[in-house]
Amino acid sequence: MICMMIDIRRAAVVAFLALFCPAAALAAAPPMAVLDDLRLEQNGSGIREMLWIDIYEAALYLPGDRLAEFRRGDTMALDGETAAAFRIELLINEVPSIPGKWRDIFERHMTPAQLARLEAAYDRLGKGDAILFHYRPGIGTVIEMNTGSSERVDGPGLMADLLAQWVGPDPVSRDLRAKLMGHPQDAVSARPVESNDRRR
């Protein structure tokens, strides 16, 4: 019951913001993510909706020589040996605080100081700002915001848990997962069950 009330309040906040914010224009995620000397290609992208409001555009980036392999599956799990990036571009003017599911993941993998810096940077985000999560073997997971914030966590754990939200067995949206996995036709057929998606 408590979780349901939190979800209802969060949905009400988003609906309120949408009433007083201009309608978001459809974003166009970049076709590539460039990480120093590494170039990752877009595997798929889609819009995260809540109460029929466009909240953010998400895009998944993977090594180009493995796109066909990943697109054969319905889900993806980071194996620790594969570089990956996930980009979010915000489509609303006022951004609520870090979603609860994200916070749970960050708390498992980040120090309190890192989380505090991340929260402060997140609170400054608005429409058109982007967050890039990227992982490289031997380097770890980096969270970058176009406002200048950057935090790094060793190992693949943080990125693996983050990706599971969008392309794992229990995603925030089956519609969005299908698009990120490069199956737009599957996304269309998945729309009737979208009402069961979690508020993340």
Q: Give the pLDDT confidence of 126-171 residue by residue, as tens digits.
A: 999 999 999 999 999 999 998 888 999 999 999 999 999 999 999 9
What number is the average pLDDT over the span 84-100?
Answer: 91
Question: Pairing between strand 140-145 and 130-136?
Answer: antiparallel
CATH number at residue 140: 3.50.70
Residue 182 to residue 180: CA distance in whole angstroms: 5
| Structural domain of 33 | 2-193
CA 56 to chain centroid, in Å, comes to: 8
Residue 200 located in a structural domain: no
Residue 137 located in a structural domain: yes
Domain count, the chain: 1
Residue 199 located in a structural domain: no
pLDDT for residue 15 is more than 80: no
Residue 198 located in a structural domain: no
Residue 122 located in a structural domain: yes
Residue 24 located in a structural domain: yes
Q: What is the pLDDT of residue 179?
A: 96
Q: Model-level pTM?
A: 0.80
DSSP state of 100: H
Q: Please, where are the H alpha helices in 23-137?
A: 67-71, 100-109, 112-122
CA dihedral 6, 7, 13, 16 (to 10 degrees): -140
Residue 60 located in a structural domain: yes
